[in-house]
Structure 1
């Protein structure tokens, strides 16, 4: 009986369950059928529309299709696209990043970094210095008839508003110039910095890479264009060039300290035909990635290094300078050299009293220089005796390399100076002040002036025979070039009656060096006048009178027209044009050109 009741209950429950399952299946089938019918209808409508729209219309429809999720209980601010993350900048700590064309990235300098302990106290403002350099840029891969174009420049925005600085929309901002930008901003709160990469055409491939920095002291990245070139082109030959900085200090008491330090500058050099540096000429990291030669003290002296650099006291005032000797250059080529003061270089006192050292690197105005085609003028420097010589001299690469050539000239000048010392032994150099030959000068002044003159006239400054310098004098026209060739017969015939052009200034050059035909940049006339002024009359040293044949064949006056043409040779005279106040001046200019008398101790 009990079993019958249990079976009855189970049968009732099973029937109810089957009825519910049937109802569920019924409604589910109807819903699915309705949805399928609606989807089929929509699909047919879409196919009909696409047939009439064509390819462009169909793609426009695809662009309009979007999916928008609805998560009910969740706020849309949480489930929407996450805002671009902000990179926090600290003072004087640059950050680097890759940036795709058309993208924007954003940085934040927090108010606690700007204002420190006063970040939460009332109204305040402080200048923040924002700077950036482009390190790499997209490369042009298209076809170009002229110079290969460079990618468009990045843009900088700075604001106390995240939206204003970091929005990808809008055109307001400061465009980089040659890969660099600087902006001083009056900060009153958190400061936002946006870097915007422009869209580029399909002919450009690659990304932008940049470095950005904020500083409370000064711009971390600086391009210094004031005051002309910091780097001077001294001279060059067919494969090498000599470049020297201006004085690192004007304070004689600071010389020893600076000479004991590492050289403060590095140098970037590129052939003017190279387009790799276009758009990056004001950027340190950009030049570091693209320049053909990067010269630093760390790599100087290495085997097969294309440069040597170091500190020197040569030149005006015997004050510290940094010298760069570049080798393995191409003949008849134009180059550009850009000097950079390293970010962590020890500060040195500069000429300009108002120049700020700053926390980062300083890039200076580029210096242009050229190599020549002829091979019988060679740059020499670092001579032991004639230590002020630093220019191209008559040479012969069949007999001497540049180092051996420098020694040959130096030994010759030193032997000539020994004769002068014998003459000076007859002068009472140690006499009392009232017995000296001059109250203004002494024997040391005489020796220095004579040595300066002797080295300049016995080691003449050389230019190619084909040089267009109107002030240079033709020399040694009757001799063959080191490769055995001669001047054209017509040229030789025209010069045959010009005695001065047939030989060099002194026989040592023709007999020992044998450079062949060249042009000489004559010594500046004040070199001779300085000897007359500094030395006793007893040595009978005299200068030729200006305007006479003896003067015209021996000396020349200064006559610079703002070009790289050198009118006369004075130790330290650079080819880089400088204003009159910046030119190398002799130690004594008290004598006027009317000093001259008939004869001179000019070497022949």
Structure 2
């Protein structure tokens, strides 16, 4: 008897199975050549094109309850039904020939009849085709099932066969693809040869931070140039990505001598919450890449999100791809992992004729530390250890002031840089237009003359950049205005920190505003990603309201180093 598999368009689809009224000793006996799937264990297998392989899923093996006897009524069957999660991934597919067409996808067949699912798949009118090398199906299981994996015939242009793995679980899918609208992986920034990507926060619970930071890295990342075709047809498959991606980032790849990527946990960004960072080097310039994040299955079969969301089961999860790209010019260079300005992880004005990325970061970091030392001398005049009733504020402390000033200082000393020629960001400000590029060339005369009329475009934000780095022309993503307001709010009024109003001269060349355009970076702060983050502005509601009050109360002074 054939099992109906209609309305199975999503992985949450279900159907009620109907079984022969036969003794389980007959149904539970696998036919010759049919293997039984093991609970919570993926089974790998080679499969030539044009063939079908069959598996038996035994209800008792999945749920541990032996019903026995005869199934005499449909109500009894419905009462005993339990949800089974069935999934499969294509690990290898035939390689295309000269036409470069990707191989057809495998097909999943499910029935309570070995003939329908295994011996004569064409009789099974209901089937589910893999998508990008992955398929999932949830079933209300009232008895044993037969599952077939069928490989289509391919032309002689293709070489090799298929390899796949299949698994069944009463808990959740052993293979899952999450294609939600939002990306779990964020592109932070890049230069001509380097890029930084990071996951979203793994937890926002203060009590969970230490535990999450101490655990093994939860993610792997698979990256390929968009022009590479090896992963086409396998982009939802964990094992397919492992076999075909050009670059793999994982805990084990950190120990590989020639690996172009290092990954580690970090707390950079708003809130200081844990996330996993991926730092790539030795990429090709002017190239586009696709990164696919995978959450590994835990060995103990228990896998819960760090933020205590719903249990995601015992298996791996492939997330929606994140695109990123490198630039062509050398005036912007990625810096990260700095000792003093430890929140910085983006491209800053650079010059590869004078500094490599590490040396550039150290030069900026040393200069920021030197400038901060001057601020500390000022803070020594503030009675920070006085009784609370005698302090300059009941809401803020000297530690709050120091933290706000350091965050602001590092952001303005290390402005976020975009390639002058490639940047189309309408919020980015042209800088240093009269200086030559590191290779000795200059901007075209007509471009230079039009921009030189604006004094703020003739130099960088601070003299250190023009004198020590000498990056040539670039564009700066201005720091967010609330970084300035936070300093004013957090520090003693006697120090005299003030911020410019948006309608006054100097503001438009000094600061930017958040959320002006969700498709681009409208202003810079530590942890701002190039990948749009829905709802990211919600992190600062109180600061924005208070900043507005501070803005109205201050005189005009551009904080310029």
Is the TM-score greater than 0.5?
yes
CA deviation string 1:273-320 (max 9, x = no partner): 111111111000111111110111112153332001101111121111
Partner of 2:58: 110
2:340 corresponds to 1:385: yes
Partner of 2:265: 311
SS where residue 243 of structure 2 aligns? Answer: helix
CA deviation string 1:122-174 (max 9, x = no partner): 6422111100000111122133xxxx321111111122222232232234200
List runs of 5+ in structure 1 lacking aligned partners.
1-81
Q: Which has the larger radius of gyration?
A: 1
Partner of 2:82: 126
Change (3 A) 1:460 1:532: same
Of 402, 409, 414 in structure 2, the residue corresponding to residue 447 of structure 1 is: 402
The equivalences for 1:145-224 within 5 A come to: 148-166=100-118, 167-170=120-123, 171-224=125-178
Whole-angstrom CA distance in 2 between matches of 1:210 and 1:427: 68
Partner of 1:39: none
Of 412, 415, 418 in structure 1, the residue corresponding to residue 373 of structure 2 is: 418
2:237 corresponds to 1:289: no
2:226 corresponds to 1:272: yes
Of 465, 470, 476 in structure 1, the residue corresponding to residue 420 of structure 2 is: 465
Structure 1 residue 351: deviation in Å? 6.6
SS where residue 400 of structure 2 aligns? Answer: helix
Partner of 2:357: 402
2:253 corresponds to 1:253: no
List runs of 5+ in structure 2 lacking aligned partners.
1-29
Change (3 A) 1:542 1:478: same
SS where residue 530 of structure 1 aligns? Answer: helix
Structure 1 residue 407: deviation in Å? 0.6
Partner of 2:48: 100
Structure 1 residue 587: deviation in Å? 7.6
Partner of 2:472: 516
CA contact (8 A) 2:303 2:315 kept: no
Structure 1 residue 581: deviation in Å? 4.6
Alignment RMSD: 2.0
Whole-angstrom CA distance in 1 between matches of 2:451 and 2:276: 42
Normalized per residue, the structure richer in helix is 1
Of 290, 293, 316 in structure 2, the residue corresponding to residue 339 of structure 1 is: 293
Whole-angstrom CA distance in 2 between matches of 1:541 and 1:351: 40
2:510 corresponds to 1:554: yes
2:444 corresponds to 1:488: yes
Aligned residues: 518
Whole-angstrom CA distance in 1 between matches of 2:62 and 2:43: 17
Whole-angstrom CA distance in 2 between matches of 1:367 and 1:560: 22
The equivalences for 1:547-586 within 5 A come to: 547-563=503-519, 565-581=520-536, 585=540
Structure 1 residue 575: deviation in Å? 0.4
Whole-angstrom CA distance in 2 between matches of 1:566 and 1:319: 21
CA contact (8 A) 2:305 2:311 kept: no
Range with greater deviation from structure 2 (119-128 or 188-197): 119-128
Greater relative CO, 1 or 2 (CA 8 Å, sep 6+): 2
Structure 1 residue 590: deviation in Å? 3.1
